[in-house]
Amino acid sequence: MGRMTHVQRRANRYEFRFRIPEDLAGQPAPDHAPSSLAPLLNKATKRFKREIVRSLKTSDPQTAKRRALSDIAEAHRLVDEARRFLRAGPETGIRPDQVKALISAHETRLLSGDEKLRRAGLGLDLNRGSFESHSEGMTNDDLSLYQFTVSFLDDELRQSAARMRPSELIKAAVERAITERRIVLPEDDPARRELELGFLAAQRKAFDAVRGRLKGEIIETPAAPCPSDTITITEALEPWAAGGGRKAKRPREFSILEARRAVERFVQLHGNLPISGITKAHAREFRDAWAKVPKALPAKLQRLRLPELLKADVGGLPQRNAQTVNKILNLLSAICSRAAKDGYFDENGTWSNPFRVTFEISPTDREPYEPFTAEELRKLFASPVFASGERPLGGRGEAAYWLPVIALYSGARRTEIAQLRARDIRQSADGIWFFDFTAPDPDQHVKTMSSARVTPVHPELIRLGLLNYVQRRGDVSATAALWAEFEPPVAPKAKAWTKWFARYLGAHVTDDPRKTFHSLRHGFKRACRDAGIPEEIHAALTGHAMMSVGQRYGRERRDDGTLDRGVPLGRLALEIAKVDYALRIDAL
């Protein structure tokens, strides 16, 4: 294996090692650093780490390289976030829920201190002129002194409350409380005045309870405010992104990236709200704002915050699709759903997910794809990539040729093809070549459980030279990406490739928005029906789920330990060979 930056071998295992840039390494960490930067911070020294080291849990060099890619991307993202935070400084201000929690905590602290003092006592004996505490409650002299002190302080509090002028002691208590919680609040912020008056009221309320206790009344100390009320949308993002323990389902890397962007945009519009404080009104406002932002922003506009973007001149730029807006809302909804599972809304029996405010999509627009006509297929495969051997930069080398051809003769999805490894096209014991779409590795994914399948290689793909190409890639490594420019993470590269293919279609075939790469999958299903292939057979070929329980019976475990779709590979090979487009494509 050629040496790869950030990957090193130690004790027959590979590990990821990322050196923190000099402008951050070893520097003191700000008191108000967000929790999302925790991987960069040393808790003991309260400084930025000098490097991140993490085991890649493999002794295979190719697997180590693939696994390190997502770690590298995440490390660079964290460094960029840290630099942005240091440039901008901590976010100032305080949320209404924080004001309420701080005031409540002040009252609780006073009553808790009173209870602790009266339990232990001072052991004051004026006759002896001594203190002899025995932790058995107050002496008579303790009680008299304490009553006098409380009465004196209570008179001062009442005068302060009457004048609405909190004392210096109250102001100091407010400053201590916000400092402990790393809240930055300027002196002229109206919220500071609100806190000081709230602390004054809380102290008056606490003193009333103390006076009652001194008269023998039993008054309980209120419980401390529940910390679950203060978890923010950015804090809730991290447990969702982490997924869970071993074998727990984890979001795809690309979905996590999109979710981080969505949370960042939401915070730009509304602030870093606690999840318990997010309402449907917040979600609707964000939905409508994001729908106004064009889908393709120039670089100078991408740097603007969402409120600034809404004021910018974006006329003439392509409008964002409602389905894309819904996808972002669904990601935010998933973050809140995870928080609900973690118990953050247990005390709120009426809570409902605020992000379930997606746009209604008309049935005609919900499934807009249509298969290519015979004439459109002829134009596509007579175009320069297939007829003249052109390899545009956006087509990513041989993927420009093979992805459409494989989709045409297998019905496979874009990402299923893009993430293939050389070893994922192989031969069965009885000589049948097949695609293994079971996604066995952590950086490979299938859309649903039914999508995990094997699909025989169509004879036309063999004629076009696919097996020769696979052999050349296999000579590099069995685990090498089948397409050299699709090393993991695949999803963002596949998305960019699809944009190129859409432009290519517009230039050489059709600009009909209903005709996309996914139209090849639709066309394969139609070709299966034209060939008289039974529905359950071509569902097994394409990885579509069957509605009937009986149709899902009969799955057999293959030699490699995975399950087939209940149809023998030989039968699938016979049926897929019937698919014919009456089309002649030039061999590679």
Question: pLDDT for 438-468, tens place per residue?
Answer: 866 666 666 666 667 889 999 999 999 999 9
Between CA 294 and CA 299 the distance in angstroms is 13
Q: Highest mean pLDDT range out of 156-160, 231-235, 242-246?
A: 156-160
pLDDT at 227: 45
Choosing from 38, 58, 90, the residue where a domain stops is: 90
Residue 69 lies in a domain: yes
User: What is the residue-averaged pLDDT of the chain?
Assistant: 83
Please give the average per-residue pLDDT across 28-43, as a whole number. 78
Q: How far is CA 440 from CA 444, 446, 466, 475, 479, in A?
A: 7, 10, 22, 21, 11
Say which residues have a Cβ less than 8 Å from residue 227's Cβ, sequence separation at least 6.
none
Same-domain status, 417 and 345: no
Tell me which residue of 122, 116, 125 sits closest to 210, measured CA to CA: 116
Between CA 58 and CA 63 the distance in angstroms is 7
Place of tokens 């149709």: 551
Helix H or strand E encompassing 465: none
Same-domain status, 130 and 215: yes
Please give the average per-residue pLDDT across 206-227, as a whole number. 82
Q: Tell me: pLDDT of 126 over 60.
A: yes
pLDDT at 92: 64
Encoded tokens for 81: 């976030």
Q: What percent of the chain has pLDDT over 70?
A: 86
Between CA 425 and CA 436 the distance in angstroms is 6
Question: How would you classify residue 135: left for phi > 0, otherwise alpha for psi between -120 and 50, otherwise beta?
Answer: left
Same-domain status, 188 and 251: no
* 253-270 helix and 233-242 helix, angle to the nearest 10 degrees: 170
Between CA 457 and CA 425 the distance in angstroms is 8
Which three-class secondary structure string do you get for 188-235?
A: CCHHHHHHHHHHHHHHHHHHHHHHHHHCCCCCCCCCCCCHHHHCEHHH
Residues forming beta bridges with residue 454, ordered by sequence position: 436
The answer to whether the beta carbons of residues 449 and 437 sit under 8 Å apart is: no
Rounded to 5 degrees, φ, ψ at 42 are -95, 115
User: What's the structural domain count of the chain?
Assistant: 4
Choosing from 298, 331, 366, the residue where a domain stops is: 366
The answer to whether the beta carbons of residues 97 and 44 sit under 8 Å apart is: no
- The CATH code of the domain that includes 458 is 1.10.443
The answer to whether the beta carbons of residues 507 and 384 sit under 8 Å apart is: no
Number of neighbouring beta carbons within 10 Å of residue 110: 20
Which three-class secondary structure string do you get for 262-290?
A: HHHHHHHHHCCCEHHHCCHHHHHHHHHHH
Between CA 291 and CA 310 the distance in angstroms is 10
> How buried is 178 (Cβ within 10 angstroms: 0-12 exposed, 13-18 middle, 19+ buried)?
middle
Residue 432 lies in a domain: yes
Residue 584 lies in a domain: no
Same-domain status, 115 and 217: yes
What is the SS3 assignment for 174?
helix
The answer to whether the beta carbons of residues 65 and 1 sit under 8 Å apart is: yes
Between CA 91 and CA 163 the distance in angstroms is 33
What is the SS3 assignment for 426?
strand
pLDDT at 1: 42
**Count of residues making up the chain:** 588
Residue 586 lies in a domain: no
- The CATH code of the domain that includes 362 is 1.10.150
Residue 587 lies in a domain: no
Same-domain status, 26 and 175: no
pTM for the predicted model, two decimal places: 0.54
pLDDT at 29: 82
Residue 585 lies in a domain: no
More confident residue, 544 or 220: 220
Helix H or strand E encompassing 477: none
pLDDT at 255: 82
pLDDT tens sequence across 368-421 = 688 999 999 999 999 999 999 999 999 999 999 999 999 999 999 998 999 999
pLDDT at 33: 72
Same-domain status, 283 and 329: yes
When computed from its CA atoms, the radius of gyration of the chain, rounded to whole angstroms, is: 33
- 205 pLDDT band, cuts 50/70/90, is very high
pLDDT at 364: 58
Encoded tokens for 211: 């006076």
Tell me which residue of 441, 469, 475 sits closest to 457, measured CA to CA: 469
pLDDT at 28: 87
Same-domain status, 246 and 158: no
Between CA 235 and CA 342 the distance in angstroms is 13
Residues forming beta bridges with residue 125, ordered by sequence position: 130
The answer to whether the beta carbons of residues 562 and 439 sit under 8 Å apart is: no
Residue 583 lies in a domain: no
pLDDT at 332: 94
Same-domain status, 124 and 79: no
Is residue 190 reached through a cis peptide bond, with omega within 30 degrees of 0 on the bond before it? Answer: no
Please give the average per-residue pLDDT across 295-313, as a whole number. 81
Structural domain boundaries, residue 505: 374-576
Residue 581 lies in a domain: no
Same-domain status, 409 and 535: yes
Choosing from 90, 121, 137, the residue where a domain stops is: 90
Eight-state DSSP code of residue 169: H
Same-domain status, 419 and 527: yes
pLDDT at 135: 61
Same-domain status, 546 and 414: yes
Place of tokens 């002899």: 132
pLDDT at 228: 43
Same-domain status, 48 and 34: yes
Q: Tell me: pLDDT of 111 over 70.
A: yes
